[in-house]
Structures are given as C-alpha cells and as structure tokens.
Structure 1
C-alpha cells in the first residue's frame, strides 16, 4: 500500500544544490524578483511627479484620479492575488500581473483623452500587489539560510530607489513630458516580465485543491479600498 504526502504542495521549485550558499543562479533570481518589486516604489514617485503634466495636458481638475485609480485597483486585488499565488503558483500570477501592468502603462502613454489615461492606469493597477507575492516567493525559492538575507536586500534597496527616482522623474518629464514617465514604466515593467519568465522558477502551490473565496476577498479588498478612497478624497 502506498501513502500520499500530507502536504498539499505540488510543483515544487527546484532548490539550489549548494543549499545555504549564494550561487550565480540565486543572485539572478534575486535580481529578477527585486527589479519589479522596487519598480513599485519607483512607479509611485514617478507617477506623483507626472500629475502636474497630466493636469496641464488634459485641462482637468480631476487629476487626483491619475494616481488614485491605480491605488484603488491594487488594493482591491491584493487579497485575490495572494490566494491565486497559492492556488496556481506565484510565478504564473506574477507573469500575468507584469503583462497587465505593462499593457496598462502603454495604453495610458498612448491615450488621447484623460479617461483613456485612467483606463490604462486601472489596468496597470493589476501590477500593484506584486510585492505581496515577491517576498513570499523568496521563502519558496531560496534556501532557508538565505531567506532573511534575500528579503533584506529587497527591502533595503527601496531607499536607493527613493533617492534616484525623483531625479529620473525630473529628467523624463523635462525631456518628454508626463508621457515619458508612462513610457518608462511600460518598458521597465516589460523588462520585469522578461526577468521573471527567464529566471524565476515556479513556486509550490500551497492551496492546491481549495477554492477562491470570492465573497471574503471582496469584503476584505473592498473594505481596504473604501479606506484608501476616503484618504484619497481627504481634502473634500
């Protein structure tokens, strides 16, 4: 008689044979996860600097929605993204997120009306919860001894991104206007997609066989979204 494992995990990510030591493969995986994670911080700073250009280009007083739309979509989707990563593997979900993120920023960069810009930003919001998966993926992919180090590198590099991003935003806006920011975000997100596709292995499916709790996700994500919306409309 054969017995099956009590763990529901399948599709295990291959561990590096040099368990506990940094290898070129692990360094590349860390870069592939860190790039799109830090792009979230850079995108927030770049987007904030582009708001004035968007308002001037479309002569709108509703420019607050340029950033708020992306934030609301990201907040609403976060519970679903985390669960989908457990159901189908984090790599698959991250690829879908980065593809939609690049598509959304591209649409916003090409848009000829403010409402199309907002539609593009809403689609780009699917990329927003990426950080919720990337740090979890580190625990699945890296040897146990390196998880804290890898997570620390990803977290501490936010400071460097915060220093560089305002200068990058100024150069992009001065040279190409707000569209330069959106084109850069679209290209950078496309690079993130390529890095994940080429370097990141699939992670275990921890919730294999379970179902997505749509009501629970809507209650949690919707509640958080309502709070974010209230904060975004704080002045009124």
Structure 2
C-alpha cells in the first residue's frame, strides 16, 4: 500500500475542512447533495463522452494504483537475468526454455521465448520495444481519463454555481428559499475545484509515475535479454542494469 497517497489525501481534505471550522463555519455546510450530483455527474458524463469504453474502463481500474501500485522488483529481475546469462554461456540458449513456463508476465515470457528461439539481438530489441511503446501509449491514454476529469470538474462546478444563482433569482420574492440556492452555488464551485486539484489531477500524475516505472522495468529487461543474446559477460550485463536502479 502506498501510505503517502493516503496521508496526502487526508492532509488535503483535512486542511480544507479544518479551515472551515477555524473560520467558525460548520462542516455540514460543505455537504450539499445537489452540488455533488451536478459536479460528479456532469464530470462523469463529459469523460464518458470523450473516451472509448475500453480506455475508460482501463483508466478507472488503474485508479487503484494510487494506493496499491503494481509490484515490480528490479533487483530480482537483475538476479534472474544474470542467472539466465550464466546458464546460456554454459549450456546454450535452448537450456533456458524451461524457464519460460515459470514466468507469469506475458511480456517477459515472450521476450525469453524470442531469446531461446535465437532471434538476433537487434531484432529482439526491435520487437520488444514496439510492444513497450504500444503498452506505454495505451497506459498513458487511460491515465489521462483522470486528467480530463480534473479539467472538466471546475467548469462543471461553475455551471452548478450558475444554476444555484438562477434558483436564487427565481425565488427573490421568497427569502426562505434563497439560502439553499446560494449554498448550492458556492459549494458546487468548491466541489468542482476541490475534486480536480485534490483527487483527479493528483491521481493522474501518480499514475504517470507508476507507468514510467513499469516502462523502465521493461526496458531494463529488454536490455538484459539483448546482452545475453550478444553473449556479453553476465557481470557486464549486471553493471549495465544497475544503472537503471540509480
């Protein structure tokens, strides 16, 4: 679990609610179901309109990475690549075929299969880098679902504020209804700006960090496989892969 994400969310929300209390306001005044429906419903509709279904679904599923980031172990990968390199130097590339079945990730399994099949080093790199580029592009497009939500929600919040003011203007003759309209107007703006800058945009940025980490992990793997295909000394491969960790 990514503890710092939880702390950041609690600190951000706590600062706003705490500021409201310190100013003598009531927390309950920030709770407006109408404003909530307008901002989140409108933002959801806008994001759905712009996104293909599979991209939207992927982006939503990726949201859990903020608190439970994908687990990768670069050091374990280096150990595996060095072990494979030693085996390949002693017994040949075909001796690695038994390792393929132990790999859970389709990308790593595909890379090792290409190595075992005797693919030329540059061809091996070319094939796997094309897959990495496609993977990175798809993941970034999905992550931008959250960035788009962060762009739409402040505008939807302003729209909610205008709607609240319209309600106020329609009921100028009835002072008892003015308070509710004004509350919706201001709280809708708070919701729109707040969820954009405390939730949607930070989630998008955190997802981009995780994507970069996954892409770097795959690039390191490809570099290691190419080293084995070139017949490089395992110690030289290890030294090169260690550079990714810094």
Indicate the TM-score class for this superposition, using the shorter chain for normalisation.
under 0.3
Q: Which has the higher helix share?
A: 2
Higher relative contact order (CA 8 A, sep 6+): 1
**Normalising to structure 1: TM-score of the pair?**
0.28
**Normalising to structure 2: TM-score of the pair?**
0.27
